Amino acid sequence: MNDENEHILTTWKNPTSKTVKFRLYKGYEGDGKTWARQKPWLNYEVAPGKSVDIPVQYDQAIQTIDVNGIVMGGVAPQLVNTRHPKDVHPSISVGFPPPFVESAVPSVKK
């Protein structure tokens, strides 16, 4: 993780009543000689109501955001980014009701 963002962290909070478990791919580091001993995944477990700090470079993997700023997917879309909270699309909300998002509801024209 030799990146300028590796020391910038995003705090993610679990607002659900269930533990959220997910893994993020960090890749291999070094010259290839030690790859067999490396684990290319970061495993996270966030208990209900708890928070975890994760390097900012993984924000887009945790939550996929559409052009309207609505969470549309990701490895843990139910977590809340405490710095920049976003509305979750109703089709993927789990364990808690998301705020109503008018832009996420398609309009039907007759």
CA distance 17 to 47: 8
The pLDDT, as a whole number, for residue 87 is 87
Per-residue pLDDT of the chain (110 residues; tens, 9 = 90+): 455 656 899 999 999 899 999 999 988 777 767 666 677 889 999 999 999 999 999 999 999 999 999 999 999 999 999 998 888 887 776 555 444 445 445 555 65
Give the distance, in angstroms, between the CA of residue 7 and the centroid of all CA atoms in the same chain. Answer: 17
CA dist list (Å): 80 to 7, 35, 37, 71: 20, 33, 33, 10
Could you tell me the residue ranges of all domains in the chain?
Answer: 9-103
* Strand partners for 45: 21
Measured at the CA of 89, the angle between CA 8 and CA 79, to 5 degrees, comes to 35
Asked whether 79 and 12 are in contact (CB, 8 A), the reply is yes
The pLDDT, as a whole number, for residue 31 is 72
Task: Indicate left, alpha or beta for 30 from its phi (over 0: left) and psi (-120 to 50: alpha).
Answer: left
pTM for the full model?
0.72
DSSP state of 73: E
The pLDDT, as a whole number, for residue 79 is 93
